[in-house]
Amino acid sequence: MSSTLTTMNLLRAQPLARLRATCCSRAMTTTRFPPLRSLPTCVPRLSQARNYAARSRKPNSDKFDTIVAEIARQAEDQAKKGEGFDLAVNDPTALLESLPDERDVEFTVDPKRLKEIRDHAMAHWRRFRRLPPGWQSKWDNWELLFTFYYPTPHYFLLMPQIDIIVNVRYAIPGEVRPLMYNNELEAFFFHVAERGTREDTAANEGPRQIYFMDWQGEDLYSVEEAGTVKDIAQRMIAGGGIQGLKLKKLEPDVEGEKVLERVLECDEAVLPILVEKYLGYTPAPSEELQNKLLEQSEEELGATLEDFAEQPSDEVVKEGSEAHEEIVRMMMEDIENPEEVGEIQVMLESLKQFAPEEVRPLRDLLRLLKHTDPSRYPDLQSIFRRQLMSLEREVQEDGRVLSDLLIKAKSR
């Protein structure tokens, strides 16, 4: 990720782009993430472009100049040979637009996580009737559901994009809960609630601050003089749509944009500020950050697993023993079943004996888990398992079972 990406470009760029889905190398027919019911059963690949929409893509001036210079060079070379050069088939703009976007990033999504997001929306978000034409709250039909709520790895932390937009860029705290949406307009209304609280969706709707997200225009508004969906619907029906509402355009928070810039630059030092002042929860680290932490652990130990394959040093053995004791303490705090504790201790002893240099990175991962919102554990499981499975052959099976047990215990 380029650190030169400006915060002002954020809404137009990769972090807030639509998701394009492909599965088994077969492109899907829509540029939007499809509703869950139409997802294939195999694991899809998502490509998230930095540019918000291809139709608004503007040529990069440096690349454009390079292409023009290359065309001029080709024309000059062919002229020296007495050959013609057809500029009509070498249009620089067409060539530029045909180039792949180097800033596209692909990542694998977990169908189970998609289902969890969809099920949560269906169970905890209100559904309203008598809405204006084109508006609905049938959440399994919302085409932007996963665009906003699937945690993306583009910020070196796994966070839903809606949190980046609302909590950080606009410094509006709390959990974003949608109220109604319009797929054609790519817009939706939402309110913000305290994280961890549950709303009685069967109770009468009370007045609250409601916001309007214009995803096409990339703007956020507060709705004035209307505190319920019923009020908004009545005004829109009477006024012929959005123009029937009184909206106040919100400006991004200056400090929030600075924090966001640091996130885009992968500045790990920003995490405490991000958590305490903006998000209100600790996001899970991305695979890139996980790997970096593991590499740092290896560097601090002075060598990798292969370096100590024959005989680990006394320092490594000591580090492994201390980390082992800390892991056991953490497990004792979180696991009530003595049989599970005993099983984990046996496996940890095996890891300490055969691969002591791997125990400290495992301890570091568990520390991260301890300070991570439990709902984020599924994001960490594959990374966590992969780390344990990297051990030597004789302890690989123990590593697989142990990772499952630890994640299961921490998820309770």
Record the tokens describing residue 323, joined without a space: 């980390």
- Helix ranges (H only) for 222-313 are 229-239, 254-264, 271-273, 287-301
Average model confidence (pLDDT) across the chain = 69
The β-bridge partners of 158 are: 284
Confidence label for 69 from pLDDT (cuts 50, 70 and 90): low
Residue linked to tokens 């594959």: 382
More confident residue, 341 or 399: 341
Amino acid at 195: R
- In the DSSP assignment, the letter for residue 406 is H
What average pLDDT does the segment 205-218 reach? Answer: 92
Closest CA to 406 of 373, 360, 370: 370
The per-residue pLDDT for range 313-336, each reduced to its tens digit, is 777 777 777 777 777 777 777 667
Alpha carbon distance 130, 207 (integer Å): 18
- Longest Cα–Cα distance of the chain, Å, equals 87
Which range has highest mean pLDDT (73-82, 188-197, 339-348)?
188-197
Strands laid side by side in the 246-249 sheet: 175-182, 187-193, 210-214, 219-224, 246-249
The answer to whether the predicted template modeling score (pTM) of the entire model surpasses 0.85 is no
The per-residue pLDDT for range 282-321, each reduced to its tens digit, is 887 766 666 666 665 555 545 444 444 456 677 777 777 7
Closest CA to 372 of 264, 295, 284, 294: 284
Contact 171, 278 (CB under 8 A): yes
Alpha carbon distance 311, 309 (integer Å): 6
Cα separations in angstroms, 253 against 168, 172, 204, 269, 349: 8, 9, 33, 20, 50
3-state secondary structure 379-395: HHHHHHHHHHHCCCHHH
The per-residue pLDDT for range 75-89, each reduced to its tens digit, is 667 666 666 555 445
Residue 254 has pLDDT above 70, yes or no: yes
Closest CA to 161 of 288, 46, 272: 46
First to last CA, the chain: 35
What average pLDDT does the segment 163-178 reach? Answer: 95
**What's residue 24's pLDDT?**
24
Record the tokens describing residue 94, joined without a space: 């067409």
Give the range among 98-102, 123-127, 242-246, 360-364 with minimum mean pLDDT. 98-102
